[in-house]
Structure 1
Amino acid sequence: MKIEDSVVFVTGASRGLGLAFAREALARGAAKVYAGVRNPAVFSEPGIIPVKLDVTDPASVDVAARNASDVTLLVNNAGIGEITGSPLADCAEDHARRTFETNYYGVMRTTRAFEPSLPGDGNGAIINVLSEAVWRVVPMLAPYSASKAAAWSYSNNIRAQLKERNIRVLGLHVGFVDTDLTKNLDVPKANPVDVVRQTYDALEAGESEVLADAGGRALKQTLSLAVPGYIDPDVVERK
């Protein structure tokens, strides 16, 4: 499918990667771009239509889907991440519940709500923003990694399910992206505009998955090894 002339809905579009997805869709000639945001009153982007959306609230998701029933491309970008410190920490369970509510159940809710309206003529698609954390061992982000792994599995299953309707599903795997969410982390970060461009290019090329940074690509290459990178993180460094 092409972004040009499509109708795009981006969740979590008030800033960061979500806003980059919305802006790039508009730049590529999308006929209409909706921005799913918690507070439409404070959202002001020329040419982009704000729609009130809280992916943790089923009623909010259903109303948003009804108000944007002409969508042809859904971008499930909304997500949260918390540094837990240790997967054995007292707070880990609470962190996991909050994170799954957005990163996994939120994706399920929006997909279920918007899917019936997506066209089945080859011009309908879903992009799910996942993470290279599904394969990378980062104990301080264990709940986040688990939520993204669950969303990855869900993406693979709906891809098979929606193939019958000729609706594409693309998973985006990326590490840290240079946004407000990561501004206090001293780690290598991908440029959000570059990530979005790679993702839209992959969708238009008919791909099902895109790894948007070198770290993720190197990590995935280890998955077929006897000792992959998610068992021994040093494998990536030795390749």
Structure 2
Amino acid sequence: MIRVEGAVALVTGGNRGIGRAFVEELLAQGAAKVYAAARDPRDVEIGTPVRLDVTDPGQVAEAASACPDVNLLINNAGYHANQRLVLTDDHQAARDEMEVNFFGVLNMTRAFAPVLGANGGGAIANVLSVAGMVPAPFMGGYSPSKAAALWLSTISRAELEPQGTQVTALIVGSVDTRMAAHVDGAKENPRDIARAGLKAVERGENVADTDWMAVDARARAARDPARYERQLAKLLNAQTLRTTK
């Protein structure tokens, strides 16, 4: 199992939100170095800036070459288009969400697997969502893309086990970030999510809920899946009514 203290980490989307919180928490817990990756490295205010668009294979390869000492990869970069999946005028939105949330994670995992293996195995943490555990109709293509990344986490764990690389899927609820600015209700502090996520990595957990909302949503879905699905559909319709008034 990997320890945060002394680790060399790379965080995608490390310039804001949960990504920045991971960078801050890693440094606070004694990580030796933290690469903060962003499309525009000028946006990075803490950590070692790295230019990286996870949907660009060339930039991903450059990052893997430029950061050969990484033993902890945190795939945090995400995209939520805030569009419906079927009844939408923007048919590109779901593809864009899949490109970042699934293929971006796959790109990074493929590129950094040899790096992690060369550095003793290390660990990968995929920052996912409760919307990837249970279908969330009000989150359009975001929910399917996070579900795909969840299965990717399981498959990656099996493939990379021989080289000693652990893979942890972090199930995140509602967090106080720019991506969730349109969401009503209580939201978690990003630093609390990062703290819980790093604990799960150090414990070597396969799948870990990072907050109360994630735990509660998964429990309610498990108790009565049909009822939970109806509640989510009602939430979608209620949102639609608010936006069309």
TM-score (norm 1): 0.89
2:42 aligned with 1:41: yes
Match of 1:115 in 2: 113
Equivalence map 1:149-228=2 (5 Å): 149-222=147-220, 224-225=222-223, 227=225
- Relative distance call for 1:100 and 1:230 in structure 2 (3 A) is farther
Cα distance in 2 for partners of 1:24, 1:215 equals 21
For residue 165 of structure 1, report the CA deviation from its aligned partner. 1.3
Match of 1:55 in 2: 54
CA contact (8 A) 1:11 1:35 kept: yes
For residue 184 of structure 1, report the CA deviation from its aligned partner. 3.5
Q: Which runs of 5+ in 2 are unaligned?
A: 233-245
Cα distance in 2 for partners of 1:160, 1:197 equals 26
Match of 2:123 in 1: 125
Cα distance in 1 for partners of 2:101, 2:38 equals 15
Deviations 1:84-117 (A, max 9, x none): 1x33223353111010010000000011111101
CA contact (8 A) 2:70 2:119 kept: no
Match of 1:65 in 2: 64
- Relative distance call for 1:229 and 1:147 in structure 2 (3 A) is farther
Deviations 1:60-99 (A, max 9, x none): 1100110001100000000010211x33223353111010
Total equivalences in the alignment? 231
Q: What SS does the corresponding residue of 1:90 show, helix, strand or coil?
A: coil
CA contact (8 A) 2:14 2:44 kept: no
TM-score (norm 2): 0.87
Cα distance in 2 for partners of 1:97, 1:157 equals 22
CA contact (8 A) 1:222 1:228 kept: no
Deviations 1:139-170 (A, max 9, x none): 23120000000000100111111111111100
Q: Please tell me the residue identity of whatever aligns with 1:78.
A: A
CA contact (8 A) 1:219 1:229 kept: no
Identity rate, percent = 40
What is the alpha-carbon root mean square deviation over aligned residues? 2.0
Match of 2:77 in 1: 78
Cα distance in 2 for partners of 1:231, 1:160 equals 31
Higher helix fraction: Structure 1 or Structure 2? Answer: 2
Match of 2:238 in 1: none
Q: What SS does the corresponding residue of 2:59 show, helix, strand or coil?
A: helix
Cα distance in 2 for partners of 1:176, 1:202 equals 18
CA contact (8 A) 2:69 2:119 kept: no
Q: Which runs of 5+ in 1 are unaligned?
A: 235-239
2:29 aligned with 1:31: no
Q: Please tell me the residue identity of whatever aligns with 1:65.
A: A
Q: Please tell me the residue identity of whatever aligns with 1:205.
A: R
Cα distance in 2 for partners of 1:125, 1:114 equals 10
CA contact (8 A) 1:124 1:168 kept: yes
